[in-house]
Structure 1
Amino acid sequence: MNSELYQNIGDEFNLGRLVAIETIQVLWSGYGELVRLKFPKKSIIIKHIQLPKSLSHPRGWNTDLSHQRKLHSYEVEVNWYKNFSKQIDKRCRIPLGIKCFQNENEWLLVMEDLASVGYVSNVTYAYKTHLKASLEWLANFHAKYINIKSDIVWSIGTYWHLDTRPDEFELLEDKELKKFAKLIDSELTSCKYQTIVHGDAKLANFCFSSGGDSCAAVDFQYVGHGCGMKDIVYFMSSAVEPEICEQNEEWILDTYFDALENAIEYYQKNIDIEDLEEEWRPLFSVAWADFQRFLKGWSPNHFKINEYSEELTSKALAYLKNKNLQKEKI
Structure 2
Amino acid sequence: MSAARGALRWLAVLHGTFMADTGLLHGAATEAAAEAAANRLGGIWPQAQYFHLGTRAAELQALPTGCTLRRLASQWDRQLRAAPQTVCHGDAKLPNFLFRPTATSSTAEQPTALTTTAADTVRDAAAVDFQYAGVGCGMSDVAYLLHSTVGKAFPAAPRDGDGGLVFPRPKGYCRADAAAEAADYAAWRSVVDPLVEYYLGELRRAIDACRSDVVDTDAVVTAYRGLLEPAYLDYWRFYMGWAAPMRPSIDASDEEVLAAAPGFVRHMAGRQADYSSDAGDVVDL
Instruction: Decide: shared fold, TM above 0.5.
Output: yes
User: Runs in 1 of length 4+ with deviation above 4 angstroms?
Assistant: 301-304
**CA deviations over 1:130-151 (Å, ceiling 9, x no partner):** 1111111010000011132222
Q: Equivalent residue for 2:197? A: 254
Higher alpha-carbon Rg: 1
Q: 1:229 to 1:171 in 2, by over 3 A?
A: same
Amino acid in structure 2 at the alignment position of 1:154: W
Q: CA deviation at 1:187?
A: 1.3
Q: CA deviation at 1:285?
A: 0.5
**In the TM superposition, what are the counterparts of 1:290-305 in structure 2 within 5 Å?**
290-300=234-244, 305=261
Pick the aligned partner of 2:228 from 238, 259, 284. Answer: 284
Q: Equivalent residue for 1:168? A: 59
Q: Equivalent residue for 1:309? A: 265
Q: Equivalent residue for 2:96? A: 205
Q: CA deviation at 1:323?
A: 11
Amino acid in structure 1 at the alignment position of 2:72: F
Secondary structure of the corresponding residue to residue 143 of structure 1:
helix
Task: Pick which of 216-225 and 182-191 moved more.
Answer: 182-191
**Match status 1:134 vs 2:7:** yes
The answer to whether the 8 A contact 2:75-2:278 is kept is no
Aligned equivalents of 2:192, 2:218: Cα separation in 1: 19
The answer to whether the 8 A contact 2:72-2:279 is kept is no
**Match status 1:223 vs 2:133:** yes
Q: CA RMSD in A?
A: 2.4
**CA deviations over 1:261-308 (Å, ceiling 9, x no partner):** 111111111222211111111111111111111011001489993111
**In the TM superposition, what are the counterparts of 1:44-193 in structure 2 within 5 Å?**
128-148=1-21, 149-151=37-39, 152-173=43-64, 175-191=67-83, 193=84
Amino acid in structure 1 at the alignment position of 2:231: A
Aligned equivalents of 1:266, 1:219: Cα separation in 2: 26
Amino acid in structure 2 at the alignment position of 1:248: V
Secondary structure of the corresponding residue to residue 72 of structure 2:
helix
In structure 2, list runs of 5 or more residues that go unmatched. Answer: 22-36, 103-121, 156-186, 246-257, 281-285
TM-score w.r.t. length of structure 2: 0.64
Aligned equivalents of 1:134, 1:195: Cα separation in 2: 17
Q: 1:318 to 1:276 in 2, by over 3 A?
A: farther
The answer to whether the 8 A contact 1:288-1:313 is kept is no
Aligned equivalents of 2:20, 2:208: Cα separation in 1: 15
The answer to whether the 8 A contact 2:273-2:279 is kept is no
Share of identical aligned residues, percent? 30
**CA deviations over 1:164-208 (Å, ceiling 9, x no partner):** 0111111013623211111111111122x1111111000000000
Aligned equivalents of 1:169, 1:142: Cα separation in 2: 28
The answer to whether the 8 A contact 1:207-1:215 is kept is yes
In structure 1, list runs of 5 or more residues that go unmatched. Answer: 1-127, 325-330
Aligned equivalents of 2:61, 2:278: Cα separation in 1: 27
Q: CA deviation at 1:319?
A: 4.1
The answer to whether the 8 A contact 2:19-2:207 is kept is no
Q: CA deviation at 1:242?
A: 2.4
Equivalenced residue count is 196
TM-score w.r.t. length of structure 1: 0.55
Q: 1:141 to 1:318 in 2, by over 3 A?
A: farther
The answer to whether the 8 A contact 1:295-1:305 is kept is no
The answer to whether the 8 A contact 2:59-2:242 is kept is yes
More strand by share: 1
Aligned equivalents of 2:228, 2:86: Cα separation in 1: 15
